[in-house]
Structure 1
Amino acid sequence: MLQVRDFMSTNIDYCTPLDNVYEAAVKMKDLDVGVIPVVEHGQLIGLVTDRDLVVRGIAEKHPGSNQITHVMSQELICVSPDDSVDKATELMARHQIRRLPVVEHGQLVGMLSLGDLASHEEVDDRAGVALNYISEDD
């Protein structure tokens, strides 16, 4: 059985609740990523996506100094490093998300993206199916 740990990225940068929207945006730009985990005392408490910054930040006229906790998503869909790739792709498809935080004992240990999966032959079909569901209109 293929496991999440075999495909996840482990060198994950993050923000803390003390960071603001501007700092998260700069970090996304510098790292060339579309999502930043928010971690407090080692525990994952939220995620901020580039879409969160636009919809909950700019569109709602919150300045760049607005705390990251005001725009982050708190209802998180996560996987464990020991979970199967099938479970991860099913969660991505069902919840129409492209990235999953990988959490072990409450600690963020990695991120799994469709890109991580699509670059491997043995799971390429599963990633394609998940992407198909994610790309569907509601």
Structure 2
Amino acid sequence: MSQLREIMTQNVASVSPQDNVYKAASLMKQHNIGSVPVVENGRVRGMVTDRDLVLRALAEQKNEQVTVGEVMTNQVVTGTPEMSVDEASSLMAQNQIRRLPVVENNQLVGMVSLGDMAVRQPHVNEAGQALSNISEPSSPQM
């Protein structure tokens, strides 16, 4: 059974709670990603997503003085390098998240996405299961 250590991305782009929202948006564009961990002294303090930027900064017509700390999601689900891919997939599905920060000794050491699981043949089923749970369609409102 594979561990997250084997498939995680180790060089993770991150922002601090004091950075402005434009830095987060710029990193997302540069790395073609939809979320960035918010890290302070190596510890994960939150996650900021493209959705957070749109709903909590742009739609509120806030200016460039808005910090990442003001718009980030504080409750962060994390994994460990020793966690199995299957456990991580279940955790991601249960919490409806597509990216999982990997933490060791309270320090961010990597990031795993559904894409990381999907491109590695033995884990296609785990990624598919997680995605189907995350992407359950909502009922259209009449």
2:90 partner amino acid: E
Q: Distance in 1 between matches of 2:65 and 2:25?
A: 11
| Deviation (angstroms), 1:64 | 2.6
Q: Distance in 1 between matches of 2:21 and 2:53?
A: 7
Cα offsets for 1:13-47 (capped at 9, x unmatched): 11112210111111111121111111111111111
Q: Distance in 2 between matches of 1:93 and 1:18?
A: 30
Q: Which runs of 5+ in 1 are unaligned?
A: none
Q: Which runs of 5+ in 2 are unaligned?
A: none
Structure 1 residue runs of 4 or more that deviate by more than 6 Å after TM superposition: none
8 Å Cα contact 1:22/1:65 also seen in 2: no
1:51 partner amino acid: R
| Deviation (angstroms), 1:9 | 0.5
1:40 partner amino acid: E
Cα offsets for 1:39-87 (capped at 9, x unmatched): 1111111111111101111112222320110000110010000011111
Q: Which residue of 2 aligns with 1:87?
A: 87
Q: Which residue of 2 aligns with 1:10?
A: 10
| Matched pairs, number | 138
Pairing 1:21-60 to 2, within 5 Å after superposition: 21-60=21-60
| Deviation (angstroms), 1:121 | 0.9
If the length of structure 2 is used for normalisation, what is the TM-score?
Answer: 0.93
**What is the alpha-carbon root mean square deviation over aligned residues?**
1.0
If the length of structure 1 is used for normalisation, what is the TM-score?
Answer: 0.95
